[in-house]
Amino acid sequence: MALWRSLLVLTLALALVGCGSDDDEASDSTQPAATTGPGAPATVPDVADADLAGAAEQLADAGLRVGVLYVPSSKPRGRVIGQARPPGTELQRGDAVPLNVSVGPNPPENVTVPDATEQTEAAGRALLEKARFEVLTIPVPAVTDDVVIQHSPPAADRVPRGSLVILYAGG
């Protein structure tokens, strides 16, 4: 229940800030593109069987976020084994796509994800790394302040030690 509540809060927050870049902007630009914002369409890519980091980056490129749920599986640790939104589904930029991610055949003990939101990206990353999590930061161009606006899995979730936590941060 906490995951869905977190995803709802995330979706509402993301609708306000958007995510990713416009698909119709020149691809040779080295600057992050302005976010289109709420209401702009985004198409869900196929991230099944990808590793979580790659899936999060593909979703961000499409203007979407990831909602991570670590689940028991014999598949390799960190592998996406299911996505709640089928590929090709039209969503709004900033929406979250819940993903089931394998904990692997012999997962380490579960630990609580600390709250890294409302901290600088460096401080949020340090907090999560101190708790022995892997961290991937996805930049949110619409947020100009250096602040973590959300992470997945969210704070207080219990996940295997060493799992990947996706930070969404501005700056």
Model's pTM, two decimal places?
0.78
Reduce the DSSP state of residue 85 to 3 states and report it.
coil
Q: What is the spatial distance between Cα 162 and Cα 130, in angstroms, rounded to a whole number?
A: 10
pLDDT at 38: 59
> Residue 53: is its pLDDT beyond 90?
yes
As assigned by CATH, the class of the 2-19+40-169 domain is alpha beta
Least confident of 13-27, 75-89, 134-148: 13-27
What letter would DSSP give residue 8?
A: H
Region 95-112: what's the mean pLDDT? 97
pLDDT at 171: 87
- CB neighbour burial string for 118-146, b if at least 16 within 10 angstroms, e if fewer: ebbbeebbebbeeeebebbbbbbbbbeee
Reduce the DSSP state of residue 104 to 3 states and report it.
coil
C-alpha distance from residue 13 to each of 65, 127, 128, 159 (Å): 11, 22, 22, 23
